[in-house]
Chains A and B, each alone.
Chain A
Amino acid sequence: MAVGPYGALLESVRGVKWPARRPVQGGAPGAHLARSRGVATEFVEYRPYRQGDDPRRLDWKLLARSDRAFIRLAPDRAVLGTLIVVDASASMAFPVESAGGPDGPDRTKWRAAREIAVACTAVAHAGSDPVGLTVAAQSGLVRLAPRTRRSVVAEIARTLDTVRPAGSASLSTVFVGAPARVLLITDCLGDLAALHRAARAHVVAGGEVHVVHVVSRLELDPPRAAMLATDPEDPSVSRPLTAETRDAYRAAFDNWRGEVARAWRDNGVAYHEVVDDQPVDILVRRLVAPPGGAGVRA
């Protein structure tokens, strides 16, 4: 499996499991607890025999003692299809990797998003879950159908490496035909209202949605030198960021991030805010933690 520069990262998330946040719909046998009951050796309860049940599941000893036919029920486990959705709009390319020369930023939101996507793919794939990829790029959606074969991690890594963030992309359509679990990696600077509606519908339909909100350190703490801040996705938004407006900007950005987090959580979405310079393996461990530890802002 050729994973290129992600080898160390994948090694660091080896053994990490990504359990479902709630019992999944029954299906192919997998690692996640299903809402249905199966025939595994682990006993859960009895149920009276009904016509059509497999006679092999009868508890013959109980039948002999009580002369009543019961079926032994065991917890069912199923796979959980996972779709990694990555926002490849122009804003994800911030900051430009070449900006600043040797002293410039060595991390971008796009790089953090790629690493998170590959690491989560590896974690989900380790649980035998089929994993697919959708990259929302300017040219449209780049899709890789959910698969369980061994090369899926490398395929997803290669696909992500070929994409260059540019323009603006719509994420609201990625939920159409998506598997039960959707991991959305974005900076939330697109059309959030439509995305919220689509995510809520997916959650209501029994799926689970994880949102990784990628924030750049330079967005949190922009340079103190005056500059004419220009939105790469909308050049008409061009405003002077100076010492006088810097505090107001930071206050507005903090307030907006709080509102975004609250909106996602109100829609039943597991929301995680990550900063592009944080270690990805730790982020992934937090992200895949059971619901009790999820939703913690990094």
Chain B
Amino acid sequence: MSFLAPLWLAAAAVASLGVVALHLITTQRPPASALPTARFVPQGDARASSRAARPTDLLLLLLRCVALMLLGTAFAGPVTHPGGSSLARVIAVDRSRGAEADARDSAVALARPGDMVVLFDSSATIVAVGGADSLHAMTVGHARGSLSTGLVAARRAARELARGADSVELDVVSPLTADEIDAASAGLIAAWPGRVRVVRTTAVRVSAAAVTLVSDAADDALRPVVAALNAHVDRNAKPEAVRVVRAPLGTGDSAAAREGSAVVSWPHSADGGRTTAEGVWAGDATLVAPLERIELQRALSGGRVVARWADGTSAAVEWPLGRGCIRAIGVGIPIAGDVTLQPAFAAVARALLAPCDAAVVGAVATDSLVKAFARAGPAATAAALRSTDESSPLAPWLLGAALLLLLGELALRRDAAAVSA
């Protein structure tokens, strides 16, 4: 048995000591005794404080102390735990697109009966029972990984484990690629109140996007940019397919998107379209050049903004479709000029023509970051993992018993007063 708020026990003990002290120091009418020289005693209140050497009314004192201790115990929130191992583990296994099959093998080798398994990519699944079977059946998917999602689920699973274990260890089995670590990941790791073991597995090979330009114009302004992006693509590494369509999208494009390609709809600038000096931001790059704003389809609102104009409006939006995505770009490239030859344009184009979800799959996080995630020391204690709003099933019964004792104390006190009167 443990307590959710053990300070209440100490408070109850202190209060009981106070009751005992007050019991000994009673303010009552002292016993009358003959003293012929009573006339020399100063006048005063007949009710005087007296300190008893031996406590009287022991039953009353006992009732008060027991009632106080019961109240303190009830407020302390006693919780019982079924018998279990003293150390439990939560194994968070990465099944995102960045992981290879060895993540599963490592997790299988690591798991033992009683462990809880959390399978995560962009979402997380807590496997409380049969974790080994789930690990054997696990396959890496195509979804982007999110370490934060896995850590949140691991924390939830650890809270469950803490009911039956003294301490809980967190094991993270993941390649820890850069795309699955976000700003919340470090905070979540820091919030874990104990040891964290990181088992780093193999990440998929870094693959750049293989961009295909679908355009009728032989002198399309994007051709040099696409050629430059494809210059370093390793075809053996199964690059992500990016299909840039300059014409309105068709069913073939949708089918390609459903198959996993990133279909980029980047229409031509209208003839005579008005170009103004604009600034556009995408990824980590910013381009300031005479550009034309092409209105994006409002019907496709709600997607992920890939690029923004300087005034904050969306310049490119991406919507998931099947295993891939559709990306609409509203940045019109002037027919004349050398905008596409500028390095800034190439950087912006790299972000605009990135695979779906802007993922650079396979790029692993730095070793220093991974080292910061792993924490030595004792495993997280069960008390530290418990939720603050966890309730004690014994508390109502203890409160009821304390109330009964207080009623008994009241009755006993009345009887004593009647007898003394």
Asked if B34 and A228 sit within 8 Å, CB to CB, the answer is no
Give the CA-CA distance A232 to B30 in the complex, in Å. 17
Q: Contacts A229-B41, A231-B39, A252-B40: A94 and B46 contacting too (C-beta < 8 A)? A: no
**A239-B42, A239-B43, A249-B42 known; A228-B33 Cβ under 8 A:** yes
Complex alpha-carbon distance, A219 and B37, angstroms? 7
B31 located at the interface, meaning its Cβ lies under 8 Å from any Cβ of chain A in the complex: yes
CB of A245 within 8 A of CB of B41, answer yes
Whether B43 pairs with A233 at a CB distance below 8 angstroms is: no
Residues of A within 8 A of B48 (CB): 226, 240, 242, 244
What 0/1 readout, one digit per residue, does chain A (214-247) give for beta carbons within 8 Å of chain B? Answer: 0010110011011111111100011111111100
A187 to B37, CA, bound (A): 10
Q: Is A91 an interface residue (CB 8 A)?
A: yes
CB contacts (< 8 Å) of B38 on chain A: these are: 229-231, 237-239, 241
Partner of B50, one of A218, A219, A242, A252: A242
Bound form: Cα–Cα A245–B49 in Å: 11
B41-A239 in contact (CB<8A): yes
Q: Are B35 and A229 in contact (CB under 8 A)?
A: yes
From known contacts A239-B43, A240-B41, infer whether A226 and B30 are also in contact, taking CB-CB under 8 Å: yes
Cα distance A96–B33 in the bound complex, in angstroms: 10
Instruction: State how many angstroms separate the Cβ of B30 from the closest Cβ of chain A.
Output: 4
- Is B250 part of the contact surface with A, judged by Cβ < 8 Å? no
B139-183 vs A, CB cutoff 8 Å, 1 = contact: the mask equals: 000000000000000000000000000000000000000000000
Q: Which of A132-191 contact B (CB under 8 A)?
A: 187, 189
Other-chain contact of B32, A187, A216, A223, A228 (Cβ < 8 Å): A228
A residues 59-115 near B (Cβ < 8 Å) are 90-91, 94-96
Residues of A within 8 A of B51 (CB): 226, 243
Across the two chains, which residue of chain A brings its CB closest to B35? Answer: A229
Is the Cβ of B36 less than 8 Å from the Cβ of A240?
no
B45 CB-CB contact with A under 8 Å: yes
| Interface residues of chain A: helix, strand, loop or mixed (majority) | mixed
Whether B29 sits at the interface, judged by CB under 8 Å, is: yes
B82 at interface by CB-CB < 8 Å: no
Contacts of B49 on A, CB cut-off 8 Å? 226, 242
Per-residue A-contact encoding for B305-323, CB less than 8 Å = 1, 0 else = 0000000000000000000
Range of interface residues on B (Cβ < 8 Å):
20 to 34
A231 to B37, CA, bound (A): 7
In the complex, which of the residues A218, A226, A248, A256 contacts B42, with contact meaning CB atoms closer than 8 Å?
A248
A231 contacts B36, C-beta separation under 8 Å: yes
Instruction: Decide if B337 is an interface residue (CB 8 Å cutoff).
Output: no
Nearest residue (CB) in A for B29 is A228
**Contact bitstring B267-300, A, C-beta under 8 A = 1, else 0:** 0000000000000000000000000000000000
When the two chains form their complex, are residues A232 and B42 in contact, meaning their CB atoms are under 8 A apart? no
Contacts of A189 in B (CB 8 A): 36-37
Q: Give the most central of B34, B41, B44, B51: most A CB within 10 Å.
A: B41
Question: Which residues from A are CB-within-8-Å of B36?
Answer: 90-91, 94, 187, 189, 216, 219, 231-233
Residues in chain B near residue A46, CB distance under 8 A? none
Whole-angstrom distance between the alpha carbons of A252 and B48 in the complex?
20
Give the docked Cα–Cα distance between A96 and B47 (Å). Answer: 25
What does DSSP make chain B's interface, helix, strand, loop or mixed?
A: loop
Q: Which residues of B contact A245 (CB under 8 A)?
A: 41-42, 44
Cα–Cα, bound, A94→B35 (Å):
7
Q: Please tell me the size bucket of the interface on A.
A: 35 or more
Q: Known contacts A222-B35, A231-B35, A240-B46; decide if A256 and B30 are in contact (CB<8 Å).
A: no
Asked if residues A240 and B34 are in contact (CB atoms below 8 Å), the reply is no
Whole-angstrom distance between the alpha carbons of A216 and B35 in the complex?
10
CB pair B41 A241 closer than 8 Å:
yes
| A96 and chain B: residue at smallest CB distance | B34
Complex Cα gap A245–B43 (Å): 9
Q: How far is the CA of A94 from the CA of B51 in the complex (A)?
A: 25
List of B residues within 8 angstroms of A237 by Cβ: 38-39
Q: Which residues of B contact A256 (CB under 8 A)?
A: 40
Q: Are A227 and B42 in contact (CB under 8 A)?
A: no
Chain B contacts for A223, CB-based, 8 A: 33
B residues less than 8 Å from A229 (CB atoms): 33-35, 37-38, 41
The answer to whether B44 touches A239 (Cβ under 8 A) is yes
Residue in B closest to A232 when the chains form the complex, CB atoms: B34
Across the two chains, which residue of chain B brings its CB closest to A95? Answer: B34
Q: Is the CB of B45 within 8 A of A240?
A: yes
What is the chain B residue whose CB lies nearest that of A227? Answer: B33
- Complex: A106 Cα to B83 Cα, angstroms: 69
CA distance A216 to B37 in the complex (A): 10
Partner of B30, one of A96, A219, A242, A249: A242
| A253 interface residue (CB < 8 Å to B) | yes
In the complex, how many angstroms separate the beta carbon of A83 from the nearest chain B beta carbon? 24
CB-based contact A227/B46 at 8 Å: no
8 Å CB interface, B1-56 against A: 29-51
> Is the pair B42, A238 in contact by a Cβ cutoff of 8 Å?
no
Per the bound structure, the CA–CA distance linking A242 and B39 in Å amounts to: 14
In the assembled complex, the CB of B130 is this many whole angstroms from the nearest CB of chain A, namely 74
Chain B residue nearest to A243 (CB atoms) is: B51
* B 73-109 binary contact with A (CB < 8 Å = 1; else 0): 0000000000000000000000000000000000000
Interface centre among A91, A187, A229 (most CB of B within 10 A): A229
Pick the contact of A238: B37, B40, B46, B47 (CB < 8 A).
B46
Chain A neighbourhood of B40, CB < 8 A: 249, 252-253, 256
CB distance from A234 to the nearest CB of B (A): 8
Give the nearest-CB partner of A220 in chain B. Answer: B37
Question: What are 26 A-B pairs with beta-carbon distances under 8 A?
Answer: A90-B36, A94-B35, A95-B34, A187-B36, A216-B36, A219-B37, A225-B30, A225-B50, A226-B30, A226-B49, A227-B33, A228-B32, A229-B41, A232-B34, A232-B36, A239-B38, A239-B41, A239-B42, A239-B43, A240-B46, A242-B30, A242-B44, A242-B50, A252-B40, A252-B41, A256-B40
The 8 closest A-B CB pairs, nearest first, are A91-B36, A226-B50, A229-B35, A229-B38, A240-B48, A226-B30, A239-B41, A252-B40
Can you add 16 more A-B contacts, CB < 8 Å, to A229-B41, A241-B35? A218-B35, A219-B37, A222-B35, A226-B51, A227-B33, A227-B35, A231-B35, A232-B34, A237-B38, A239-B42, A240-B44, A241-B38, A245-B41, A248-B41, A252-B40, A252-B41
